[in-house]
A and B are shown apart, each in its own frame.
Chain A
Amino acid sequence: MILAVAWRNIWRNKTRSLVILVAICLGLASGIFYMAFYFGMVDQRINTAIKTEASHIQIHHKEYLSNPDKKFMIENAGPVGQEIKRVEGVIATSNRIILNTMIQSPETGAGVKISGIDPEDEKQVTNLYSKLIEGTYFEDGKRNPIIIGKKLAEKLRVKLRSKVVITLQDMQGNMTGAAFKVEGIYETSNTAFDETCVFVRRSDLAPIMLMDDHACQEIAVLLEKNDQLQVADETIKSKLPDLDVKTWREIMPEVSLIESSFTLTMFIFIGIILLALLFGIVNTMLMAVLERAKELGMLMAIGMSKVKLFLMILSETVMLSLFGGLCGIVLGWILTLWFGVQGIDLGAWSAAYKSLGYDTLVYTRLSMGISFQIAGMVIATGIIAAIYPAMKALQLNPADALRIDM
């Protein structure tokens, strides 16, 4: 019956209870929605990092990452690639010739990272082909096609079918170069990537560089799920002890940092919201207790123990918090699900977001586990908020309380 009394007590002053319930509900719904928005944004950034830029795992010569010289290559890339494909969770691999060099248009030049790829293999690993905004993905069949980013095209002032010249040093140290024709222009959510990364066929680039057909500087590996990353990484490392195997977290530590620090940041944010609500709840409950001092005195007079009195006030506070909290979680989820499908267009700030590698259309996303954790935080807030009003109630002297004129 104590729970029934507690529940009914909440509704004695409907306006006051509704005000605090709405405050808890809106506060939490906003917090959850903000979390879902940020989760969605980070999730898309990680997806872009994996699907467009780095893939799940990259394999290089031991020296390559510290000194990205073309001579540090994987000699027998073909058999190595086949070996990797047998690892559980691996969907596809792509062998890449990587070269940092200069690209020139008739008007200007720029430093770029050239990736010499097998178009069909690359299609299995990255989604570059789906990012084309003009032209085709190595379908022309003509010699020396090149795919460049929109930002670089603007910088070089080139368009489809324009010629660009790549200057490079071959494996014997001779300066050489070749003309390439722009076959496609892509645009990702990362302008820095678009400005610096160009793609050519490996079969075109290898002869210019005088490189062995089976050699490459990088093998990119795509996994079925990101959850398999650690196991696949360990397995590949054990199979290829002479090569440098790195996950996208190691290759792009800035993205990994966003992911790892994000959850903590969000919980601190929710904590701040709950702290503000805590004072609101304490205020409401304190008023409720002081208003009912005579009744509480009577309850102690007729024999209600202090423990039961404490539990009654605790139950009222926890029910109030939990009810408001659940409403907030449900509202937050509805908003999350809605914008998870519709997306939130940040087009007005697209330049700023794209320079940081973020999509401008954000799809909100939230896991059920996080919601349960938030519900736990709400209950904890309710319990903490109950302590002071309940202690006030316990300090009442029944004889004095019964003398109060209400």
Chain B
Amino acid sequence: MNVIEVKKLNKIYNESEVKVQALSEVDLAIEQGEFTAIVGPSGSGKTTFLNMLGGLDEPTSGEIHIGGTDIRGLSSSQLIDFRLRNIGFVFQAYNLIPVLTAKENVEFIMELQGVSKKDREARTMELLEAVGLKGRENSRPAKLSGGQQQRVAVARALASKPKFVLADEPTANLDSKSTENLLELMEELNRKENVTFIFSTHDQRVVNKARRVITLEDGKIIRDIRKNHTI
């Protein structure tokens, strides 16, 4: 079953002045449980594509269906609510709320969803344990290493029980060991809980772990490789 379907997606920046075609006629379908890496040189359109999939940016034309919903038809407020309930985000710079502890950062998104305190606390502890941060739940981001912060970000992304997680260069600021640990964690979550992960990355280690690798160049998909076979 496809969790994401993209048809004829185009994104043109600076439409009135110099036109920059960031995405061009992109067609893509991603199934539930995929572990996908989107690769390509800088400026190839990776982040733009992820922003489109996350409903953070509007395409110039084309369709994006997520779980059967055409997100182009949603208003700005509906999109925010849609993201809250369907999409998990992991950012390159972690982007945790600095004034909240690790536990509170994970809980925060569930509070926005209206989950009860009891359920929030239970799921938060379960997720922090899953990402290996049990015992650090009361630490603020500034007291955690980059790798630990990104683990909190992964826990936060999963807290809302999303249909898929978008991770924009999640390992770019991590050292080798942290990268390895994070990838193992996400791979395990993908395998055990069937969470769909979509990364944009330059990191060969991420590419090696991915079971599907989509290569973008000049806003176009030039390669879409599933490990063991090529489309």
Check: B31 CB closer than 8 A to any chain A CB. Answer: no
**Contact mask for chain B residues 58-82; partner A; CB cutoff 8 A; 1 contact, 0 none:** 0000000000000000001100110
> B77's contact among A298, A301, A306, A402, by CB below 8 Å, is which?
A306
- How many B residues face the partner with a CB closer than 8 A? 28
B94, closest chain A residue (CB): A298
Check: A5 CB closer than 8 A to any chain B CB. Answer: yes
Once the chains bind, are A302 and B84 in contact (CB under 8 Å)?
Answer: yes
Once the chains bind, are B99 and A300 in contact (CB under 8 Å)?
Answer: no
**Chain B residues with CB below 8 A from A295, complex form:** 95, 97-98
Check: A101 CB closer than 8 A to any chain B CB. Answer: no
> B98's contact among A12, A303, A397, A398, by CB below 8 Å, is which?
A12
Once the chains bind, are B77 and A303 in contact (CB under 8 Å)?
Answer: no
- CA of A308 to CA of B104 in the docked complex: distance in angstroms? 17
> B109's contact among A5, A294, A302, A306, by CB below 8 Å, is which?
A302
Known: A1-B104, A304-B80, A398-B56. A298 touches B95 (CB 8 A): yes
- CA of A323 to CA of B107 in the docked complex: distance in angstroms? 28
**Contact mask for chain B residues 159-186; partner A; CB cutoff 8 A; 1 contact, 0 none:** 0100000000000000000000000000
Once the chains bind, are A303 and B112 in contact (CB under 8 Å)?
Answer: yes
**Contact mask for chain B residues 93-106; partner A; CB cutoff 8 A; 1 contact, 0 none:** 10101111000100
Once the chains bind, are A303 and B80 in contact (CB under 8 Å)?
Answer: yes
A403, closest chain B residue (CB): B47
Whole-angstrom distance between the Cβ of A244 and the nearest chain B Cβ: 70
Whole-angstrom distance between the Cβ of B154 and the nearest chain A Cβ: 13
Check: A8 CB closer than 8 A to any chain B CB. Answer: yes
Q: Is the interface of A mostly helix, strand, loop or mixed?
A: helix
- CA of A8 to CA of B104 in the docked complex: distance in angstroms? 13
Once the chains bind, are A8 and B100 in contact (CB under 8 Å)?
Answer: yes
Once the chains bind, are B99 and A5 in contact (CB under 8 Å)?
Answer: yes
- CA of A302 to CA of B56 in the docked complex: distance in angstroms? 10
**Chain B residues with CB below 8 A from A4, complex form:** 100, 104
Once the chains bind, are B56 and A303 in contact (CB under 8 Å)?
Answer: no
- CA of A116 to CA of B85 in the docked complex: distance in angstroms? 90
Once the chains bind, are B112 and A399 in contact (CB under 8 Å)?
Answer: no
**Chain A residues with CB below 8 A from B91, complex form:** 298, 402
> B83's contact among A5, A9, A303, by CB below 8 Å, is which?
A303
Check: B57 CB closer than 8 A to any chain A CB. Answer: yes
Interface centre among B91, B107, B111 (most CB of A within 10 A): B91
Check: B89 CB closer than 8 A to any chain A CB. Answer: yes
Once the chains bind, are A301 and B100 in contact (CB under 8 Å)?
Answer: no
Once the chains bind, are B80 and A399 in contact (CB under 8 Å)?
Answer: no
Known: A1-B104, A1-B107, A301-B54. A306 touches B80 (CB 8 A): yes
> B160's contact among A12, A303, A398, A399, by CB below 8 Å, is which?
A303
**Contact mask for chain A residues 349-372; partner B; CB cutoff 8 A; 1 contact, 0 none:** 000000000000000000000000
Check: B156 CB closer than 8 A to any chain A CB. Answer: yes
Once the chains bind, are B95 and A402 in contact (CB under 8 Å)?
Answer: yes
Q: Is the interface of B mostly helix, strand, loop or mixed?
A: helix
Once the chains bind, are B108 and A303 in contact (CB under 8 Å)?
Answer: no
Check: A305 CB closer than 8 A to any chain B CB. Answer: yes
Whole-angstrom distance between the Cβ of A300 and the nearest chain B Cβ: 6
- CA of A4 to CA of B100 in the docked complex: distance in angstroms? 9
Known: A295-B95, A306-B77. A399 touches B83 (CB 8 A): no
- CA of A304 to CA of B81 in the docked complex: distance in angstroms? 8
- CA of A340 to CA of B85 in the docked complex: distance in angstroms? 60
A288-330 residues at the B interface, CB under 8 angstroms: 294-295, 298-306, 308
- CA of A295 to CA of B97 in the docked complex: distance in angstroms? 7
- CA of A12 to CA of B100 in the docked complex: distance in angstroms? 11
Whole-angstrom distance between the Cβ of A192 and the nearest chain B Cβ: 64
- CA of A397 to CA of B97 in the docked complex: distance in angstroms? 18
**Chain B residues with CB below 8 A from A402, complex form:** 56, 91, 95
Once the chains bind, are A294 and B80 in contact (CB under 8 Å)?
Answer: no
Once the chains bind, are A303 and B97 in contact (CB under 8 Å)?
Answer: no
B109, closest chain A residue (CB): A302
Check: B51 CB closer than 8 A to any chain A CB. Answer: yes
**Contact mask for chain A residues 391-406; partner B; CB cutoff 8 A; 1 contact, 0 none:** 0000001110010000
- CA of A308 to CA of B112 in the docked complex: distance in angstroms? 9
B160, closest chain A residue (CB): A303
B76, closest chain A residue (CB): A306
Once the chains bind, are B81 and A303 in contact (CB under 8 Å)?
Answer: yes
11 inter-chain pairs at a CB distance below 8 angstroms, sorted by A residue, are A1-B100, A295-B97, A301-B83, A302-B89, A302-B160, A304-B80, A305-B81, A397-B57, A399-B51, A399-B56, A402-B56
Ranked nearest first, the 8 interchain pairs of A and B with the lowest CB-CB distance are A303-B84, A8-B99, A399-B56, A298-B95, A399-B57, A399-B51, A303-B83, A398-B56
Contacts from A to B (Cβ < 8 Å): 1, 4-5, 8-9, 12, 294-295, 298-306, 308, 397-399, 402
With A5-B100, A295-B95, A301-B54 given, can you name 11 additional A-B contacts, CB distance below 8 Å?
Answer: A4-B104, A295-B98, A298-B89, A301-B56, A303-B81, A303-B112, A304-B84, A305-B81, A306-B76, A306-B77, A399-B56
